[in-house]
Structure 1
């Protein structure tokens, strides 16, 4: 299974938003700079995320985006699903026509794997990821680099010694 750029970038951008959202609305330009994702690509992704109410937009000066609900209630599978990303590992797109119009010998194996992956991502929230030491360290480094002054940092009080997800 290969999660494409669309799903990866959507999750990355949503995690960035969750990590920086306590400071007010987050602009897509800031996410773009920190994560090195094209601004136009983020605009496309956030349009889809907004339609699914995973984010809300705030217009005007100082505007940007906020999570549509608490980070602990936003699950990774929802983010991937919102951008129409397929987590399907079958060759046929789970249509069951992988071999001359019929299911191939291993169709059920790959279909079950797709279900397991989706279930796994359904159990991980942005809040879970925000509490991972490794993620907070990377986010802090990105914030320092992005601000240019080294003064903007991530709140690391929520650091956890839990095993990485």
Structure 2
């Protein structure tokens, strides 16, 4: 699995909203400036996040975006599933029931299932709040399994 720019920027956008949650609704242009991301690109990402009901939106003067829930209720896995779709490392693990005709005899399937479990467990174990807290206590954000 390779995380796209859309996934990475969505995470940065949501972290910016979490970091500035006390400011109320945040204009997309302010996030774009702080994060050095094109406002046009953020508009595309916001569409996906809105459909997933991750954000609250307020239009007009004093309008903008804010998180619908507190930062400790959003995991990195949740965000990446919205922007990337499946987090599975191989196609045959993307569905609940493995559609591959070789799955019963595949010698490597266990390797990919193990990798998938480690990745999902890791990403589901990190919330936006965890990232903010870690950033406030250290210059470098590092997570270990």
TM-score by length of 1: 0.71
CA–CA distance in structure 2, aligned partners of residues 41 and 111 of structure 1 = 34
Change (3 A) 1:5 1:107: farther
**1:85 Cα offset (Å):** 3.4
Unaligned runs of 5+ residues in structure 2 are none
Q: Which residue in 2 is equivalent to 1:140?
A: none
Offset from partner CA, 1:38-88 (integer Å, 9 cap, x none): 212211111111121111111111211000101111111111112243322
Aligned length: 137
Offset from partner CA, 1:105-153 (integer Å, 9 cap, x none): 3233123212321221112111111111xx34xxxxxxxxxxxxxxxxx
Q: CA RMSD in A?
A: 2.4
Indicate yes or no: 2:129 matched with 1:127.
yes
Q: Which residue in 1 is equivalent to 2:62?
A: 62
- Which of 116, 119, 124 is equivalent to 2:118? 116
Unaligned runs of 5+ residues in structure 1 are 137-158
Q: How does 1:1-165 map to 2 (within 5 A)?
A: 1-90=1-90, 92=91, 94=93, 102-103=102-103, 104-132=106-134, 135-136=135-136, 159=137, 164-165=142-143
Q: Which secondary structure does the structure 2 equivalent of 1:60 belong to?
A: coil
CA–CA distance in structure 2, aligned partners of residues 47 and 106 of structure 1 = 38
CA–CA distance in structure 1, aligned partners of residues 92 and 30 of structure 2 = 36
